[in-house]
Chains A and B, each alone.
Chain A
């Protein structure tokens, strides 16, 4: 009985008695969720356009952030470094398409999945070789990102909000809006959607798959760069970050592998759920439940909707 009380009643009483803590936890969850969403967004872009389950998205985040910081360390001014990094991202997208995707075209999904594993390992080694393994500090100030915190008064206390988190949320929304416009309103966007619907049909109406893949990987690298800057500004830039790719996987399956709104909503659900779970139910089970709680949320959702919240309905034919 005592255990049931602790699971089902006590946490809610705590929420009621200290609403400021609840709001603070919710906000932290939302912020973490935005970052998960961004990583998931990178996954979804690539999965939609090329059917590749891109495991390398996490390391791409690290690599993009490291390139930016590394360039700045070598004396390149911040904004020039940003521009150069974007150029490097384009070269990498081009290289990935030419060296990995093109030779492996028409292979089963699992083979492409494994190839992105190879890419992950390569980028880990390459990144450490060039930039060194030590932790670096993101050049958030030089890029003009705000810092410090705002304290909001609330019933029973106050809620502390980091300015960088607000900036992250705004930039993420702008980027999603930009991507949505790009997908819906431009010629290339229409081509991208066509490729996502069917490779073969897109080819037959004269859309160049190679071009589309470069564009899509470039977009994913840009998303990775944004994620890297935001995440790096909150903590540091280090290779430990690549585990956040694993954090983004439940977001993906929760939202559906092919849905951009799904990635956003899924990220927010997972972020909030994870923080609430850790804060209110974690102590019951000996803390650290963040590592698997998201997966359990996703698993429960999946049992009811096997294609995720917003995924395309799975229709099977013989």
Chain B
């Protein structure tokens, strides 16, 4: 039903005008940018926000007793308010600025995991995780004697729910899973698992890197303890992201880094830490990028995440339908519930070679293991070709991709 609404409300050509980078030729062809799961492009308003900050009010924030410092501090803290609304956190202070999703997960794995985990405890992740939601937990497990457990993945790229439920028990202290798989686009049934995690008393971290710009996020309704995402995958700058945490859990945690900003009082004998959010924001933060992140969040909210999702689903359906008809093409990840990503293999071609051949006609895709080597190993493959969509992509662009892959299939060499 949302589809019909979006078709009427979203003027994609108008949206495309907001993104200067899209209007260029690559290798003599108009750029078709289908690497959005890696990073999205930036609208003019975000680029201008960066320029305005550096040209107009660059200053270090908090404690500065002058005009520029005040202005920068207000803009910086405005982003916190906007993000709090963007994910519906109960309190503004529960929004911590980070470098990105990876940083957010590491803060929790080190600050919570290393403090509270002990031998015999279990951390439950899934077979669909990005390396950034595997390695920090392995490090925490190694340091504490806890064990990493993994929700198995079925042939269609979805969680094996029954097997996963058995792994979520009173030994589980942390459930850390992604909302949407970056490699396959599978939307995971996190609600079911969060509910079960609550029953067994496990803390929950949701990696929202691939979902924050597609779904209306309500961390209170979701009832997760932590929700992490990146600015650059939601039309914002690189190097900034968000760690949301429930106040009580954040207060119980150790800070991840020590330094300026995060202290209340320092003597050589003892330091007392600042309150949240500053306790987790040691050092001068990435002020300019975080200020511009507000503009990116507003940009998304103005278009409407339901509308964005509906458009992206249209693109995904068109791509899936078109690519499925190509002989020798195999889509990896065929869940009914997917968003934004189509991952595939083409007979007779290594994914790297498909990527380079598509680039020859201006189509940008990602090839390889997508930072999900265990998942690729599970499928018995080295990697895939991944096309991932954003709101500024068009049906015509999807058709170009399908035609280009058809041409490769027709030239199949072995």
Is chain B a partner of chain A in the same complex? no
Binding site for A on B (CB under 8 A): none
Binding site for B on A (CB under 8 A): none
